[in-house]
Each structure stands twice: as C-alpha cells, then as structure tokens.
Structure 1
Amino acid sequence: MQNMRWIVLFTFCVLGQLAQAQGGATLSGKVTRPKADSIRVSWHPQPLDPREQTIGARLSSKGEFRLDIPLTAPTLLELSYGEEEVPLFLEPGNALQLRFKSGELLTSLKYSSADGSTHRPAAAANGYLAEVENEFASNEGYQVLPENIELYEKPFLSFLDYRRDKQEKLFKKAGGPAAFSPAFAAFAQAEIRYLYANDRLTYPDLREQVVGTEGRLKLSPEFYSFLGDPAVVPGDEAAPTSPQVQEFMLNYVHYQVRTEGKSLTSPAYYPACYQLADRTFKGALRPLILGRVLLETFRFGHIEHARAMLKDYATTAGAPAPWLELLRRDLDEHKELAIGAPAPPLPLHTPEGDTVRLAVYTGRLVYVMFWDSRLPMSQRELPYLKEVVKEFAGKPIVFVSAGFDDAASKKLPAAAVAAPSVAPAVVPPKARPAVRESYDIETLPSFVLIAEDGTVLDPNPKRLSSHALLDDLRAAFGKAAAYRAVSVKNVKR
C-alpha cells in the first residue's frame, strides 16, 4: 500500500452529523468481462475501531451488481473486486452507478448518479478520488518512501511543495469546492493540507531511521514554523475529519510532548499526551484524538493512568456511547498484561521439582525468559545471559529462566547458573497452555519484566542479545513507584 493512498479507513464525521444523518447509500453497476463473481465494500463503522465492516454482492450473469450500504455519516470506504481496490466516499442518501473493466478497475472506472442529477456531486467526488489514486498513489515519485526521504531539508521541502501544488491543481481542475458536497470538499482539501503537514512533521524521525548512516539532521530554525499556523493546529474542527488529519494530530501530540522533555519511556508520557490533546482540541476532533491517545495508553501505558483517563473521557469528551463501549472493551482486553497490572500467575518448578511462586521475588526486578532449549532462536539467546547477569551482579534483580521443555534448565550456561541472581526453572507441562495465554506468548523465546512490587513493568522488554537491554534495565529500578506517583490530575493543564 502506498503512503499517498487513503487506505487508513476511518469513518469520519462531525459529531452533530451522527445524530442528524439518516439512511444509507446505494452502489450499483456493471463489470465488463468479469473474472471474479463478487464485489465488496469495506469500511470502519466507528473511527476508533480497527475492525472493518464488509458487505458483498454476487454479480449477475451480465456482470451487474447492487450494494445497499448502511451509513449514518459521510464515510470513506474501499471498493474491492478480485485483487483490485479503490477508495470510495459516500454520504447517506447517495445512489451511485459505476462501470469498469475487469482487470482495469482504476483506469476504466466511470461513475454516474442513479437519477442523473441529484447525486452528481457524489459521482464527481468519486471520480476525483479515482483520478487522485491513479495519478499520485501509483507514482513513487510522489511518495516519501523509498527515495525522497533521503533528500536534505531544502530539497525535501521543495518536493512537498511541488506535490501539494500538483494536488491543488488537480482539485481545481475537478471543479473545486463548488463541484462537490461540503463534506467531500472539506475532506479533499484536508487530505492535501495534512498529508503535507504530516510528512513534514515526521520527516526528521523517519529520515533518521531510514538513512542510518548519517544520524539525525540539524534542521533550520524555521523548519517547524508551520505548526504555528492556526489553520494547521487546531485546524478547521468544524469540518469532517480525514484520516490524514487524525494521523497528523496524533503525531503532533507526540511531537509536542517529546519537545516538552518527556520520552516514550517516561512514566508521565501518556498522561501528558492526553492532557495536551485535551488543551489543544475543542471541537469534533477532541473525542477522536483523545480516544486514540487512550487506545495507545491501553497498549503501552500504565493501567491506572488508562483507567483514570478513560473515566475523564467518559465524563468530559462528549463521545457517542458506542465509542465508550469500544474503549471500555479494548481496555478490558489489554488489562491483564498492562503496565502496573499484577503479573499473571506463573507456576514454576525448580530443577529439583520444588514449586516456585513469583511472590518469592518481591522487592526485586524479575526478568523472565520463556524459552525452549530445542528451538534455535532460544539457543541463540543463551550466550548473552552470562553478560547481562554479570552487569547487574549485586543489584536487586533476578533472571528467571522459564523453560517450556523439561531439559531446559540443564542447557543453561554453567557460569550463569552459578550466579545467585539466576533462577533456573521449568513451566510444568499442564500449565504451559495457560501461561502462553496469560503472557500472550506466540513464539519462543519471549520475555517479560516484572517490577519490585509484582506488577508488570514491561510486557515486551528487549531480549538478552540486545545491547539496549542493559540501559532499559538500569532505568527500570524504582520505575514502578515513579508510575504510581503520576496522576492524570497532576499533569499540568
């Protein structure tokens, strides 16, 4: 998938439209020389829900089809036929007809309104989307990756300016705002504006990751000046919000919080993101961006922060009830291994057959390696155990080797086994399925870091062979207490 494509499919809407919009949309048409026997459309019924809703229809013997799509707001969808796909923009009440040749969906696609007049703006909008898809998405010259990211600051900004100019000319050529419905005109213009803004904002980090031989570029003082434009932040919040708007605004929140001196590993990071979004957005974007910060917090933040933020969201964000239900369900799905949650039960046996419980290690960090001595990937980690153990000799940390085969403890390096901070153990066979499920173990080896108080500190710490693990472990001592000291209310508004 290309960066230029509108493939991050979100239902986007002004909150007022949720209550006002009624009815659905109809899509009908004909496929010339069909090769596949069905056609489908997919979309996200909620902007915070990653799950798609799909409706399909079989083609008649003449290649004809009809799809009735239940929509309550202007929505970005994806039309798929065989291996081909194209974006769609539909509003409640739209009735569109389309024709295309099998194998040439994008280049041969033609739209028309079902009644010949009322839905002309919808036909124009989707014709414009197809043209944008054909001209920009398929052309690597307009993409940041793989090559344009290597440009230095001035030529990169020239590239962004050139691309934006071409997009704006195409929009004007298609008739400009007067040719489309107000919702689509706002969407199309926002996509152009915020694709530029998002690519500019993420350029320094992305370039540093991709062009690893040069390090981070030293940028000119005016590089981030565009963020001071109120048309960019907070932008036109009265307009329907596009995927590009949401992606940019979330990236903007992260950028601002990092600029304030908080790193991703800071205990206060996600509460700070939430409060910044709360201060910045006052319109329809507010519940969207706050909701997306919550989703990230459920996965990467502290469980108590997540609960406090969700409580605040429920009472102040003005989000529809289905959004709240989704967020509550998502928190519930991630709470078992969330930072700050009690570590799930981990039954272990010593090599001698004695039972060991995690509680015996209270007061120390516990780095657990789940492994199987019969697997090559597990074997490759073992030589690094001695080095890591030596680095933390005398520190309040224990390295638990939780083997998933009965011979695991016998395969540990002798020097590591002799260290007092290493605890060789085996997960009993009957307990292995439950341990896999509770610790979300898909492949071995797998790792988890448990805090001094028995709560999860990092559900996915770096592996033994990673040089960065040493720094992470040094920073982990006392971190559970630092998390507990952070309150959503204490983050400066």
Structure 2
Amino acid sequence: MTVLSGHLDHAPAGDTVRLWYGNRQIKTLLSATGDFKLVVPGLRATTDASFSYARQRTRLYLSPGDQLRLTLDFARFDETLKYTGRGAAANNYLAQMLWRFAGAHPDPGPEQQRTPTTTPAQMRSLTDAFRQRQQAFLASYAAAHPLTPTFQRQAALDIDLEWARLLLDYPGYHRYAAKQAAVLPTTYYNFLQQLPRQQLNEQATREPVLRFLSAYGGRLLPDGPLPADPAEARRLYAVATAELGAHQARDWAMYQLLSFQLNDNVAAVVAAYPIFRAQNQDSTLARNLRQMLQAQLRLQQGQLAPAFTLSNHQGRPVSLRDFIGKVVYLDFWGTWCAPCRQEMPALTALVRRFAGRDVVFISVAVNDPEDKWQRVLAAEQLTGLGQVQLRSPDSTVPSAYQVTAYPTYLLIGRDGRLRRVPAPRPAAGAETVAALEQALQE
C-alpha cells in the first residue's frame, strides 16, 4: 500500500488536498488541524505525481509501497517543503530543486537574467551555466542520499530538458521583449542533437518532456499560426523528424502543436490532419486529434450549440433549449479560477446593462464542490435577475464546448446557433456590448 500523509502549517482552511498520478486523481479535505492522509490505490509502478492545495503545487515521485509524510509551512511553501519516510530521498531532491532553481531562492535562472539585449551566444552561456549548477547539485545530492539509478537518470534528463526548453524559449522572448526577431546562427538549434532520443521516446508522456515538446512547437512555428497548407505540415514533420527522430517524441510534439491551433486556426488543422495521421506511429494520438477536430468543427459559427441540462443553485434542472428565442452569453468558470473571479464585476455590470432585454447570462461552474459553489454565489450575490447559475460536476459539458482554459465565454443566438466562439470577455467592455447588441439584432 502506498500512502502520502502530511501536515500543513498556516494553511487556509476549507480547501481540498489533491494528488494526481497518471490519469487518476485522489483527494481529501484538509483537517481543522492541518493534517491529511491519502491512500494511493492501484499503484503498480514508479510514477510522477503532483500534490496540490489551495493553488500551490509540487511534483512527487511515487513508488509502490512508499510511506511518505509531507510537512511544510504554507506561507513558505517551497522553502519549507520536506518529506520523511520511505521514498523521502527522491522527493526531497525534487523539493530542493524547486526551491533552489525555480522558487524564490537567490540563485537566478536565465529567465531572470536575460534582457531584451541578450544575444543568442549570451543566452547559451547563461543556460549552460544554469544547467551545470543543476547537474552539480544532483551529483552532490546523489552522493549523500540513496537515490536509485533509475531516478538519477530521470533527474538528469529533466535537467537537460529544462536547459533545452530555455534555449527554445529564447527566440520568442526576444521577439516579444526586443520587438524584433533574434538573429540566430545557423547552428543555434544544434543543441537538440544532444538530447537522449531513446529516453525522450520512452518518457514522452511525462510532464517535463511534454513541457519541452510544447516549447519545441515555437521552434517549428516561430512566426505565428500554421498556414492551412498540407505542404507546410509535411515540412514541419521533416524538421521534427530530423531533430527528434521518427518516434514518439516527434509525434507528441506535432500532436501538441496541432492541438494548440484548434481553437483559432481550425482550417490549418484540417489541412494538416491527413499528414499527421499518415506520419505518426501512435494510433491513439491520431484518434484523439480527429475527435478534437470533429468537436471543434461542430463549434464553428452557425452550428447548433451543444445541448445540455444541468442543475441550478436551487437544485432545479435547466436546459440550454429553455432559452431558444433569447441571446445567451455562456460562461465556463470555477470558484478556484482567479481570472474568472476577476471578471465578475464586469460580468455583473453587463447583466445590469442588459436587464429586461432578451439576453440570458448562463454561468457554468466546472468541477466545483456544491457547498463551496453555493457559498461563493451567496457572497458575490450572483443569483440575481438575468443570471442563471449552473454547476457541471464533471468535464462532460465543457468538453462538448472544447473548453481548455478558464474562463471561456461563448455567444449563442436566438436560434440556438453559435455566434461568437470564443466571445469577448466581460472586461472587454465596448467590444462585448457590441457583440451582444449585434446578436440581438440578428
């Protein structure tokens, strides 16, 4: 049996302790004294995991039979995070790496040191030095603690991936910060050849690898959206094959790149999909991308909005079809989502502006415990005239609308067909008002 327990000093009360591993999640409430215990079912192999509480998060490395105990002072989360018990050595390494190289520790990384005038050569020097400091820490920690060879290889790979990600991010940073493209030497991307391809392919679905592959998408498309041209998709596949090999890492890189294009550039994904299906070696990726593409095509302007029925704050079922004949401003949000909460004053102002007109404001809270949702609705006075508050206890409804970020807003016409996907946010002010006025006239 694998167990993670712990104690959080000075933690905000009333939130949920969550542990993700693989595609599973387990959770429990933090006790009034700051204690928790999670029994991890079905863990048959060592895996990466993630622990979170009240929007703070940290990585874990779990093995079957681990008996980990976590302690920390919530006010100094990264600095005080510590583990004891079986499995502590690997997880204390991860905690110390986070504190030393990604937290508030006084060892700045390249992202803190670079400036708009940093040249490619200077960025390489900064990044190489950062990598060397991380490698030295891993070596010294491994000499003093019982880390398994498998974990040491994985930790070394993660250092290399972060090094490569920083170098991949540099051209995009320079374009944004210096307002012009960086002049890269022809050999700039040769660092990709130093990465261990076999490990990349074996671990292609681990979070550090996927983060690197996401950054690699910027190397493939440095100048913006993917053109809706099959020849361009073939060219990108050729580049990725040369730099990553014709295996899982390449296929996941292309899968992520095309997935990110779906919301705003669906025509390009339609053009690229046959090449992706023919080239990639993972039929599951092809099927997943096809399903997402089909769902996105159903969400184009003029298509019928996906039907749903959910319970409102009074426990009564409410269906989208109940509002045929009215314009619907649909909002997917969560009480756990800070940007969502920031939009609330502007949303309330919109509701007041369109009071008495044929506009219905529907807010769907996603993955929120009902008691917390009800408390926020009452505290923020969000159940007034013109607002329909619904709760989606799982991801079924947001998935039908291809919601990948929160908040997400959509505008539905009187005929039940999509008018704006996505719609402007409430805080967009005049743009949002104009979109609603136009929908009322159609």
Q: TM-score, normalised by structure 2?
A: 0.58
CA distance in 2, matches of 1:218, 1:145: 19
Alignment partner of 1:36 is 2:13: yes
Aligned pairs (5 A) from 1:132-171: 132-139=97-104, 142-145=108-111, 147-150=113-116, 151-171=118-138
Note closer, same or farther for the CA distance 1:256–1:267 as it changes in structure 2 (3 Å cut).
same
CA distance in 2, matches of 1:123, 1:328: 42
Please say if residues 26 and 68 of structure 1, whose CA atoms lie closer than 8 Å, have aligned partners that are also in contact. yes
Match of 2:309 in 1: none
**More off after superposition, 192-201 vs 437-446:** 437-446
Q: Which amino acid in structure 1 is aligned with residue 66 of structure 2?
A: N
Match of 1:109 in 2: 81
Note closer, same or farther for the CA distance 1:274–1:298 as it changes in structure 2 (3 Å cut).
farther
* Aligned match for 2:416, one of 411, 414, 434: 434
CA distance in 2, matches of 1:430, 1:61: 44
Please say if residues 413 and 419 of structure 2, whose CA atoms lie closer than 8 Å, have aligned partners that are also in contact. no
CA distance in 1, matches of 2:143, 2:210: 23
Match of 1:192 in 2: 159
CA distance in 2, matches of 1:207, 1:169: 29
Alignment partner of 1:288 is 2:270: no
Aligned pairs (5 A) from 1:257-272: 264-265=226-227, 267-268=229-230, 269-272=232-235
Q: Which amino acid in structure 2 is aligned with residue 243 of structure 1?
A: E
Match of 1:236 in 2: 199
Task: Report percent identity of matched pairs.
Answer: 21
**More off after superposition, 184-193 vs 31-40:** 31-40
Note closer, same or farther for the CA distance 1:294–1:154 as it changes in structure 2 (3 Å cut).
closer
Alignment partner of 1:78 is 2:50: yes
Please say if residues 250 and 293 of structure 1, whose CA atoms lie closer than 8 Å, have aligned partners that are also in contact. yes
Query: What is the SS of the residue equivalent to 1:142?
Result: coil
Please say if residues 266 and 293 of structure 2, whose CA atoms lie closer than 8 Å, have aligned partners that are also in contact. no
1:327-383, Cα deviation, whole Å (9 max, x unpaired): 344223212357xxx9659xxxxxxxxxxxxxxxxxxxxxxxxxxxxx9xxxxxxxx
* Structure with more relative contact order (C-alpha pairs < 8 Å, separation 6 or more): 1
Please say if residues 149 and 203 of structure 1, whose CA atoms lie closer than 8 Å, have aligned partners that are also in contact. no
Aligned pairs (5 A) from 1:172-251: 172-175=139-142, 179-212=146-179, 215-227=180-192, 229=193, 231-232=194-195, 234=197, 236-237=199-200, 239-241=202-204, 242-251=206-215
Query: What is the SS of the residue equivalent to 1:206?
Result: helix
Please say if residues 85 and 105 of structure 1, whose CA atoms lie closer than 8 Å, have aligned partners that are also in contact. no
CA distance in 2, matches of 1:324, 1:222: 33
CA distance in 1, matches of 2:252, 2:81: 33
Query: What is the SS of the residue equivalent to 1:174?
Result: helix
- Alignment: residue pair count: 316
Quote the offset at 1:317 in angstroms: 2.1
Unpaired runs of at least 5, structure 2:
305-349, 351-410, 433-442
Please say if residues 43 and 54 of structure 1, whose CA atoms lie closer than 8 Å, have aligned partners that are also in contact. yes
Q: Which amino acid in structure 1 is aligned with residue 416 of structure 2?
A: A
Please say if residues 229 and 271 of structure 2, whose CA atoms lie closer than 8 Å, have aligned partners that are also in contact. no
Note closer, same or farther for the CA distance 1:324–1:432 as it changes in structure 2 (3 Å cut).
same
CA distance in 1, matches of 2:130, 2:91: 21
Quote the offset at 1:127 in angstroms: 0.3
Note closer, same or farther for the CA distance 1:297–1:174 as it changes in structure 2 (3 Å cut).
same
* Aligned match for 1:129, one of 91, 94, 98: 94
CA distance in 2, matches of 1:104, 1:310: 45
Please say if residues 10 and 75 of structure 2, whose CA atoms lie closer than 8 Å, have aligned partners that are also in contact. no
Please say if residues 183 and 240 of structure 1, whose CA atoms lie closer than 8 Å, have aligned partners that are also in contact. no
Larger radius of gyration: 1
Please say if residues 25 and 68 of structure 1, whose CA atoms lie closer than 8 Å, have aligned partners that are also in contact. yes
Quote the offset at 1:175 in angstroms: 0.6
Q: TM-score, normalised by structure 1?
A: 0.53
Please say if residues 5 and 68 of structure 2, whose CA atoms lie closer than 8 Å, have aligned partners that are also in contact. yes
Query: What is the SS of the residue equivalent to 2:75?
Result: coil
Query: What is the SS of the residue equivalent to 1:30?
Result: strand
CA distance in 2, matches of 1:248, 1:31: 32
1:121-151, Cα deviation, whole Å (9 max, x unpaired): x311110111111111124863444551432
Please say if residues 257 and 276 of structure 1, whose CA atoms lie closer than 8 Å, have aligned partners that are also in contact. no
Quote the offset at 1:182 in angstroms: 4.5
Note closer, same or farther for the CA distance 1:36–1:175 as it changes in structure 2 (3 Å cut).
same
CA distance in 2, matches of 1:99, 1:144: 30
C-alpha RMSD over aligned residues: 4.1
CA distance in 1, matches of 2:422, 2:16: 36
Note closer, same or farther for the CA distance 1:324–1:101 as it changes in structure 2 (3 Å cut).
same
1:388-435, Cα deviation, whole Å (9 max, x unpaired): xxxxxxxxxxxxxxxxxxxxxxxxxxxxxxxxxxxxxxxxx9944634
Query: What is the SS of the residue equivalent to 2:227?
Result: coil
Query: What is the SS of the residue equivalent to 2:199?
Result: coil
Quote the offset at 1:59 in angstroms: 3.6
Match of 2:281 in 1: 317
Quote the offset at 1:210 in angstroms: 1.0
Note closer, same or farther for the CA distance 1:45–1:294 as it changes in structure 2 (3 Å cut).
farther
Query: What is the SS of the residue equivalent to 1:218?
Result: coil
Match of 2:297 in 1: 335
Query: What is the SS of the residue equivalent to 1:192?
Result: helix
Match of 2:35 in 1: 64
Quote the offset at 1:251 in angstroms: 4.1
Quote the offset at 1:301 in angstroms: 4.5
Quote the offset at 1:226 in angstroms: 2.2
Please say if residues 125 and 184 of structure 1, whose CA atoms lie closer than 8 Å, have aligned partners that are also in contact. yes
Q: Which amino acid in structure 2 is aligned with residue 264 of structure 1?
A: L
Query: What is the SS of the residue equivalent to 1:43?
Result: strand
CA distance in 1, matches of 2:185, 2:252: 32
CA distance in 1, matches of 2:412, 2:73: 57
Note closer, same or farther for the CA distance 1:196–1:39 as it changes in structure 2 (3 Å cut).
same
CA distance in 1, matches of 2:289, 2:53: 33
1:304-346, Cα deviation, whole Å (9 max, x unpaired): 4355256447xx62355xx5664344223212357xxx9659x
Note closer, same or farther for the CA distance 1:305–1:278 as it changes in structure 2 (3 Å cut).
farther
Match of 1:458 in 2: none
CA distance in 1, matches of 2:167, 2:412: 53
Quote the offset at 1:67 in angstroms: 0.9
Match of 1:255 in 2: 219
